[in-house]
Structure 1
Amino acid sequence: MIAVHCGAGYHNKKYHRKYNKLSKKACIKGIDVLKQGGTALESVKAAVIVLENDPITNAGYGSNLSTNGVIELDASVMDGRELVYGGCGAIRKIKNPIELAYDICVKQSKPLPLGLIPPSLLVGTGGLEYARGIGLNIVTNKSLISKKAFKQYVKCKHLYNQQSNKLDTVGAVCIDDSGHVASACSSGGLLLKRPGRVGQAALYGSGVWADSFIKEEPCVAVCTTGCGEHLVQTQLAKEISIDLKNETCVTTGLHKTMTDKFLKSRFLRNVNQKLGGALVLHANTARDEIAVLWGHSTQTMSLGFMSKMDRYPTGLISELPNEALAGDTINVGGTYFYNKINTE
Structure 2
Amino acid sequence: MEFIAVHSGAGFQSESKQSKYLNACKEACSNGMQLLINGKSAIDAVVEAISTLEDNQITNAGLGSNLCNNGTVECDASIMDGKSLNWAAVGALSGVKNPIKVTKLMLSEQLKEQPFGLIAPNILVGEGAKRWSIERGCELSDNLVTEGAKATYNKYKRKIEGSDPIEVKARRLDTVGAIAIDAAGNLAAGVSSGGILLKNPGRVGQAAMYGSGIWAQDNVAVTTSGVGEYLVKTLFARECASQLLTIDDRLNVEKIHNVFVNNFIESPFLKSVNGVKSAGVICAHLDQSKSIIEFLWAHNTPTMSIAYCCRNSQPKTIFSKLPEKTEMFIQSIPFKINSAIT
Assess same fold via TM > 0.5: yes
CA–CA distance in structure 2, aligned partners of residues 92 and 19 of structure 1:
24
Cα distance per residue 1:173-227 (max 9 Å; x no partner) = 0011111100000000000000000000011100010011xxxxxx100000000
Aligned match of 1:162 in 162, 166, 179? 166
Greater mean deviation of Cα atoms: 158-167 or 126-135: 158-167
1:197 aligns with 2:203: yes
Aligned match of 1:287 in 287, 290, 294? 290
Cα distance per residue 1:136-177 (max 9 Å; x no partner) = 01121xx21111100001111143553861001000000111
Query: Superposition pairs for residues 5-20 of structure 1, below 5 Å?
Result: 5-20=7-22
Aligned to 2:232: 232
* CA RMSD between the two structures: 1.3
Greater mean deviation of Cα atoms: 232-241 or 17-26: 17-26
Q: 4+ residue stretches of structure 1 with deviation over 2 A?
A: 158-164
SS at match of 2:301: coil
One-letter identity of the residue aligned with 1:298 = T
Question: 1:322: how far off?
Answer: 1.7
Question: 1:18: how far off?
Answer: 1.3
Question: 1:39: how far off?
Answer: 0.3
SS at match of 2:124: strand
- Whether the 8 Å CA contact 1:156–1:163 is kept in 2: the answer is no
Question: 1:240: how far off?
Answer: 0.4
One-letter identity of the residue aligned with 2:175 = T
Query: Superposition pairs for residues 304-315 of structure 1, below 5 Å?
Result: 304-310=307-313, 312-315=314-317
- Whether the 8 Å CA contact 1:20–1:315 is kept in 2: the answer is yes
Equivalent residue pairs, number: 328
Cα distance per residue 1:66-86 (max 9 Å; x no partner) = 011100000000000100000
Aligned to 2:222: 222
CA–CA distance in structure 1, aligned partners of residues 191 and 135 of structure 2:
23
Query: Superposition pairs for residues 23-42 of structure 1, below 5 Å?
Result: 23-42=25-44
CA separation of 1:163/1:176 partners in 2, compared to 1, >3 Å: closer, same or farther?
A: farther
1:318 aligns with 2:339: no
Aligned to 1:21: 23
- Whether the 8 Å CA contact 1:75–1:185 is kept in 2: the answer is yes
SS at match of 1:60: coil
Question: 1:11: how far off?
Answer: 0.7
Question: 1:22: how far off?
Answer: 1.1
SS at match of 1:41: helix
TM-score with structure 1 setting the length: 0.93
CA–CA distance in structure 2, aligned partners of residues 156 and 40 of structure 1:
39
Question: 1:309: how far off?
Answer: 2.3
Query: Superposition pairs for residues 70-219 of structure 1, below 5 Å?
Result: 70-140=72-142, 143-160=143-160, 161-162=165-166, 165-212=171-218, 219=219
One-letter identity of the residue aligned with 1:172 = A
Query: Superposition pairs for residues 50-89 of structure 1, below 5 Å?
Result: 50-89=52-91
Aligned to 1:332: 330
Cα distance per residue 1:82-139 (max 9 Å; x no partner) = 0000000000000100001111112112111110110000000000000001100112
CA–CA distance in structure 2, aligned partners of residues 61 and 163 of structure 1:
25
CA–CA distance in structure 1, aligned partners of residues 198 and 16 of structure 2:
24
1:242 aligns with 2:242: yes
Greater mean deviation of Cα atoms: 292-301 or 192-201: 292-301
Aligned to 1:216: none
Identity among equivalent pairs (%) = 39
Question: 1:42: how far off?
Answer: 0.5
Give unmatched runs, 5+ long, in structure 2: none
TM-score with structure 2 setting the length: 0.94
One-letter identity of the residue aligned with 2:331 = G
- Whether the 8 Å CA contact 1:163–1:191 is kept in 2: the answer is no
- Whether the 8 Å CA contact 2:311–2:338 is kept in 1: the answer is no
SS at match of 2:66: coil
Give unmatched runs, 5+ long, in structure 1: 213-218
